[in-house]
Amino acid sequence: MVSRNGLLVSRRAGVLTAMGIGMGVLVHVSYTLLGLGLVLQQTPGLFNVLKLAGAAYLIYLGIKMLRSRPVLESLDAPSPALSDWAALRMGFLTNALNPKTSIFIVSLFMGVVHPGSALTVQIAYGLFIAGAHGVWFSLVALCFSAGRVREKLMAARPWIDRIFGGLLVSFGLLLSIAQR
């Protein structure tokens, strides 16, 4: 069992890692805003190709979630202690260097941002996506660090995977048939 003090360290490290994940998203949002918007304005055909690639990726992720098997995990396993900086850095690097995050961000932008969208709107979407990542993964870290909640979530994980897998497949299909 993790001690009360160890649990607090674990929660703090989890939240800092989640904040790093949100910061890593900003890397993908930044290069998407800096270059992709201009390229897409000039080549609408490329916009459609990227939109379909993003839709296909979302469908792939959804199917992967729908087919996932329950994971058996020991709830008594101690969490490794991380410094604040190490936790933040780990979250940032994990997301900034993740090619799946890049495709995910581009596919989200293809669904909500159009070549004619104002830069302020694009930046607002980017900040929202980064903030949502940070908040979501912070909540996940806090929930998973609480023993009883963690047990319940792990028990419900197959259903959670199915629901979100279905949502991703649905969003991917809608994105693939959506008109500009």
Could you read off the pLDDT of 62-108 as tens digits, one per residue? 899 899 887 655 545 554 567 889 889 888 988 887 767 877 887 77
Distance CA 173, CA 88 (A): 35
Residues 6+ apart with CB under 8 A from 157: 70, 71
Give the count of alpha carbons within 13 A of 1, CB side only: 5
What local confidence, expressed as pLDDT, does residue 99 receive?
Answer: 67
Length of the chain: 180
Tens digits of residue pLDDT in 106-149 = 777 767 777 678 889 888 988 999 999 999 999 888 877 777 87
CA–CA distance, 130 with 94 (Å, rounded to integer): 14
* CA nearest neighbour of 60 among 139, 178, 165: 165
pLDDT band at 37 (very low <50, low <70, confident <90, very high): low
Of the candidates 132, 135, 1, 110, which has an alpha carbon nearest to the alpha carbon of residue 55? 110
Using CA atoms of 136, 146, 13, 10 in order, give the dihedral in degrees to the nearest 10. Answer: -170
CA atoms of 89 and 87, how far apart (whole Å): 5
User: Does residue 12 register a pLDDT over 50?
Assistant: yes
Q: Tokens 């994980």 sit at which residue?
A: 157
Question: With bands split at pLDDT 50, 70 and 90, how would you rate the model's confidence at 3?
Answer: very low
Q: Which domain holds residue 141?
A: 4-71+78-177
Q: Are 119 and 41 in contact (CB under 8 A)?
A: no
Q: Rounded mean pLDDT of the chain? A: 79
The pTM of the whole model exceeds 0.85: no
Count up the domains in the chain and report the number.
1
Give the dihedral sign, CA 131/137/141/142. positive
